[in-house]
Structure formats: C-alpha cells, structure tokens
Amino acid sequence: MVLQGVYTALVTPFCNGSVDWKAFEALLEAQVAGKVAGVVPVGTTGESPTLSTEEHIEVIARTVEIINGRCQVIAGSGANSTEEAIHLTREAKAAGADATLQVTPYYNKPTQEGIYRHFSTVAEKTGLPVVLYNVPGRAGVPIATETIARLSKNPLMVAVKEAGGSVDRVSEILDQCDITVLSGDDSLTLPMISVGAKGIISVASNLIPGELSAMVEAALNGDFASARAAHRKYYPLFRNLFIESNPIPVKAAMGMTGAITPEYRLPLCEMSAAHAEVLKKTLIDCGIL
C-alpha cells in the first residue's frame, strides 16, 4: 500500500451534542475537491476519546461510504487496550477502511517489547494495514526507532506518523528501515519531506486542503521554492492551530469560516476570547477569512 501526500485528520463536527452528519459530509466533499490523498476519521483531531464506541464505528463507516473510493481512508482505531484496538480495527476493516492509524498505547506506559507486541497483535488479528502513530506528548512513551525497524519487517506495517516534534527522527527511522514516514506536525511537513518523509497527516487541511495538497506535491517533486512560499504563508496558521489543545483551535477556526458549529465535548471546551482573537487575525492574514 502506497501512502503519499496529504491525509486530513478530520474533525468530528457536533451539533446539540450529537455528530453533525450534514457538516461532516460537506467536510469530506471539500477534502475530495482539495485533492487530498486520504482522510483520517476519529483520530485525536476527531475527538475519539469522547465518542462512544458506536459513534466511533459509525463515523468510520460513513466516511468510507461518502468517500466511495475517491481517496484513501485511514481509520483511527487505536486504543490503550490491545483488545479494544483489535475490536475497533476489525470494525474499520468491515466498513471498508484502507488502513488503520494505531496510536501508541497511552497512559499505561508499556515497555518497547509491549509496544511491539501490541502493534503486531493488532495487525495479526485484523489483517488491516497499520500506520503507526508516534506521539509521545500524548501517549507518554515514544515508539523507539529500533521498535519501528523491528515492526517494519511485518508487511502490514505500512507507515509511521511521526509527531514527536523532531525532524531528526525521520532520518533516524529511515537509517534503520524502509518504512514510509508521514509528518504528524503541519509546521514540520516541509523539513521532514526534505529528509525523506512522504507527506503529512494534517490538521490544517481541514481548512485548506487544496493549498496543502499543492504545497506537498511541490515539495515531493523537488520544487522547494514553491513549497517554501506556501509554508511561509501558512506557517502562522500551522502554529496557531495549536495555541490551545488540538482540536479546539481548528474547530474554532472552522466555526469562523462557517464550515461547522464550533462545539466540543467535555473535557474540551471553547477557546479563550484572547486566543480566539489571535486565531481570527491569523485566518484573515492567511487569506482564509
């Protein structure tokens, strides 16, 4: 399975406490129109921790149905319980997802051997291609590069989303194995591609799918002058979409554009008025508003 380009970590829009399916379908159509390589429902950006299991599975199923083969679907179906991750991933496979995004088990802080066994078991029990998700800031532990190299020997391990904030990690991984690396940070997309990454699992592309697709395509084609111009234009957006915990700012921004109702589920809540002003100015400066 080839993964390359922009993959949008989709928000899950809510309205009056429920998933807003109309807004969600419009978001998916905007992604297809923006020529993204794929979409990633119910990851961190999709507020997976606050969705019920039934909602989680339905978001994946509806994504597959609406996308209808027009781009790839990588379902967020990880968990910090291996059995739960297997269950969600089997459901994602049954729904027709192309691959699964599997986050490092969070909170219980497994050893590297436990991490290796966790991902290996999910792959073995489900047969769905796995994108490993290294995000130590949320999970509490990293996936060591040695563990990624070990996992890469399994043909079902197709990529790693690298969200540790280090460009050097890309070189470290590719020095040890031949797995596809995708940036997990919009602001690091360009430097990561320059040393071998193949794309981005993006938050910002909820807002600017076409612009990001063009930036990444330019970089992958070696046109770093064009890619760098786009990066500099949108860097304030990349930065300020993390002015508070993701996905609070991106949902606020999408609320400002009228794409969704900026509604959250506790413990997430609306962003502060001061930060909202900063974000609004950023959207204006970037030409989004």
pTM above 0.75, yes or no: yes
Which bin fits 42, alpha (ψ -120 to 50), beta or left (φ > 0)?
A: left
Q: Is 35 a catalytic residue?
A: no
- Chain-wide mean pLDDT for the chain? 98
Q: 93, 116, 161, 198: which is the annotated catalytic residue?
A: 161
Residue 47 in contact with residue 247, Cβ under 8 Å? Answer: yes
Q: 7, 116, 133, 234: which is the annotated catalytic residue?
A: 133
Residue 241 — very low, low, confident or very high, per pLDDT cuts 50/70/90? very high
| Across 92-117, average pLDDT | 97
Largest CA distance in the chain: 49
| Per-residue pLDDT, 85 | 98
| Across 184-203, average pLDDT | 98
Task: Domain 5-221: give its CATH code.
Answer: 3.20.20.70
pLDDT in tens, 123-179: 999 999 999 999 999 999 999 999 999 999 999 999 999 999 999 999 999 999 999
Residue 276 in contact with residue 252, Cβ under 8 Å? Answer: yes
Give the separation between CA 279 and CA 286, rounded to whole angstroms: 11
First-to-last alpha carbon distance for the chain, in angstroms, is: 37
Q: Is 264 a catalytic residue?
A: no
Residue 126 in contact with residue 94, Cβ under 8 Å? Answer: no
Residue 233 — very low, low, confident or very high, per pLDDT cuts 50/70/90? very high
| Per-residue pLDDT, 157 | 98
| Per-residue pLDDT, 229 | 98
pLDDT in tens, 12-37: 999 999 999 999 999 999 999 999 99
Looking at the chain, the whole-number percentage of residues with pLDDT higher than 70 is 100
Give the separation between CA 198 and CA 180, rounded to whole angstroms: 7
Token pair for 288: 């989004």
pLDDT in tens, 37-47: 999 999 999 99
Helix, coil or strand: residue 158: strand
* CB proximity list for 99: less than 8 A, separation 6 or greater: 1, 3, 72, 73, 74, 75, 128, 129, 130, 131, 158
